[in-house]
Chain A
């Protein structure tokens, strides 16, 4: 069985400051990794994903994440946040190679509140 842990439930940050959201996973097989964002009163949308290749993945809106296999982590970062980045962020994992039919396991989410 696989699981995803997001260590911070809430992260307050000032506008233009950097932010890092932590994600750790446990799985007995290789995984695909994802970060999704949920803006208030909306569904989730994909920020970025790691399937293979370079461990540094760049996504939309200036976000990036680094896959660290030895530490089973996939932390999300942004060097300078905007007010519009206020949202909840979800880390998710799916098993390789068959990915269990596209099934994802989500973490508990991290709420980011960007303050002016």
Chain B
């Protein structure tokens, strides 16, 4: 398997623009997580899905952020409108409960570095 795939790897946009980050989890994984990493706040869980259903979105900063998972192989994180304080590295991770040796192990993608000017 190619691992968790994220696109784009880098995104530079102007304040006020819409930004869409994409994630393809590992095939067969039934959990998907979106994280944000900054120097000031460290690694924060934004939202996670189980079988394509959002389970906990308490980490989503505000209404400007939204996430969807239309099917088991694709998820998006959208920011509209974007602001400079959204600049961060956004990670997607996936995991499964169906393989006992991998229970609770999250596999991370390479991240998307977002810069909002």
Residue of B whose beta carbon sits closest to that of A96: B104
Checking B91, B97, B106, B109 against A104 with a beta-carbon cut-off of 8 angstroms, the contacting residue is: B106
Interface residues in A, total, Cβ within 8 A: 24
Q: Residue B82 at the A interface, CB < 8 A?
A: no
Bound form: Cα–Cα A106–B4 in Å: 20
Task: Check if A101 sits within 8 Å of B109, measured CB to CB.
Answer: no
Contact with B along A11-34 (1 / 0, CB 8 A): 000000000000000000000101
Bound form: Cα–Cα A102–B99 in Å: 13
Q: Residue A56 at the B interface, CB < 8 A?
A: no
With A101-B50, A103-B45 given, is the CB distance from A44 to B91 under 8 Å? yes
A78-101 CB contacts (< 8 Å) to partner B: 90, 94, 99-101
Task: Check if A101 sits within 8 Å of B110, measured CB to CB.
Answer: no
With A43-B91, A102-B97 given, is the CB distance from A109 to B43 under 8 Å? yes
B interface bracket (residues with beta carbon within 8 Å of A): 20 to 34
Least Cβ–Cβ distance between B91 and chain A, in angstroms: 6
Residue of B whose beta carbon sits closest to that of A42: B110
Contact with A along B98-117 (1 / 0, CB 8 A): 00000111111111000000
A34-70 CB contacts (< 8 Å) to partner B: 34, 36, 41-46, 49, 51
B30-62 CB contacts (< 8 Å) to partner A: 31, 33, 42-43, 45, 48, 50, 55-56
Checking A36, A45, A101 against B56 with a beta-carbon cut-off of 8 angstroms, the contacting residue is: A101
Residue of B whose beta carbon sits closest to that of A104: B106
Residue of B whose beta carbon sits closest to that of A105: B45
B71-102 CB contacts (< 8 Å) to partner A: 91, 93, 95, 97
Bound form: Cα–Cα A100–B110 in Å: 25
Task: Check if A101 sits within 8 Å of B55, measured CB to CB.
Answer: yes
Least Cβ–Cβ distance between A45 and chain B, in angstroms: 7
Checking B50, B104, B109 against A49 with a beta-carbon cut-off of 8 angstroms, the contacting residue is: B104
Question: What 7 pairs between A and B have smallest CB-CB spacing?
Answer: A43-B108, A44-B108, A106-B43, A108-B42, A102-B31, A102-B95, A43-B110
B positions within 8 Å CB-CB of A: 4, 31, 33, 42-43, 45, 48, 50, 55-56, 91, 93, 95, 97, 103-111
